[in-house]
Structure formats: C-alpha cells, structure tokens
Amino acid sequence: MSLLIDDSSPIFVQIAERIENDIIEGLLPEETQVPSTNQFASFYQINPATAAKGVNLLVDQGILYKKRGIGMFVTEGARDKLMEKRRERFFEQYVITMVNEAKKLGITIEQLTEMIRKGGNA
C-alpha cells in the first residue's frame, strides 16, 4: 500500500484504515502506543484536526483507547475484532466484484473455482 494519502475519499477514513492495517499486520501490537495526532499530521502532511478525527473514529469503535496525559494505545483484542470486520468486508469487496467480472467474461463458476485453486497453489 502506498504511503501517500489520496484526495479521493475522506482523509480521516484513510488514516483510520492505515492504523487498522498496522494493527492487523502486527506493526502496532496490542497495548502499544500509536503516534500522536501531530506526528500523523506532519508525516502525511495533513491537517491535525483531520488526523484526530481518524484516530477518534477508532477510539469510538474500541480499537484504540486513551491513556490520560500519555496518548492513544491499541486495545487488547483489537486485532481479532479488526480481522472479523475485514473478513466480512472481503466477501463484498472482492468475491462479489470477481464474480461479476467473471460473468462479463463468460467464465463459469466452475472455471472460476478452478482458477482460485490454481491461484492458491501459485
């Protein structure tokens, strides 16, 4: 994934997704501190209020929590919670899209299944 923030969807959503990815990939283990709003702002060259909005989105979802006077930390169990959410989205985002494209190209479900098996072995 590219480091650059693009301008096509709300930036706070993109910031929240970056943090989610880091948690899923283990770069931000549970109970570790996440960078401050100002660090996000200067790293991605974005408005600090926008960065704060992205962080707060994850606080509202219980993925991050605030230690008073210190900063934001990753909640225990955050990774499992995120994996669950991403799996649900996987079907919508990838499977449905793939099946539609396959239909357009005249690929049958059997052929598609075969392709997936082949892809898994690659």
Partner 1 sequence: MNRVLEINRLTKSYGEAVALNNISFSLEEGKIYGLLGRNGAGKTTLMHIITAQLFATSGEVKVFGENPYENDRVLSQVCFIKESQKYPEFYRIKDVLVISKDIFPNWDAEYALQLVHDFNLPINRKIKKLSRGMLSAVGIIIGLASRAPLTFFDEPYLGLDAVARTIFYDRLLEDYAEHPRTVVLSTHLIDEVSKLLEHVIVIDNGKMLVNEDAETLRGQAITITGPAAKVEEFSRGKKIIQREGFGGLVSVTVLGNLSLPEQKQAQVTGLELAPVSLQQLIVRLTTDNNERKAA
Q: Which of 16, 20, 50, 57 binds partner 1 (CB under 8 A)?
A: 50
Reduce the DSSP state of residue 67 to 3 states and report it. strand
Distance (Å) of CA 42 to CA 18, 45, 49, 107, 115: 15, 5, 12, 47, 44
What is the per-residue binding string for partner 1 in 62-91, x denoting contact by CB under 8 A? ------------------------------
Residue 55 engages partner 1 in binding (rule: CB under 8 A):
no
**Exposure of 12 in the CB half-sphere (CA atoms within 13 A):** 14
Residues making contact with partner 1 (CB under 8 A): 5-12, 38, 41-42, 44-50, 53, 92, 96-97, 100, 104
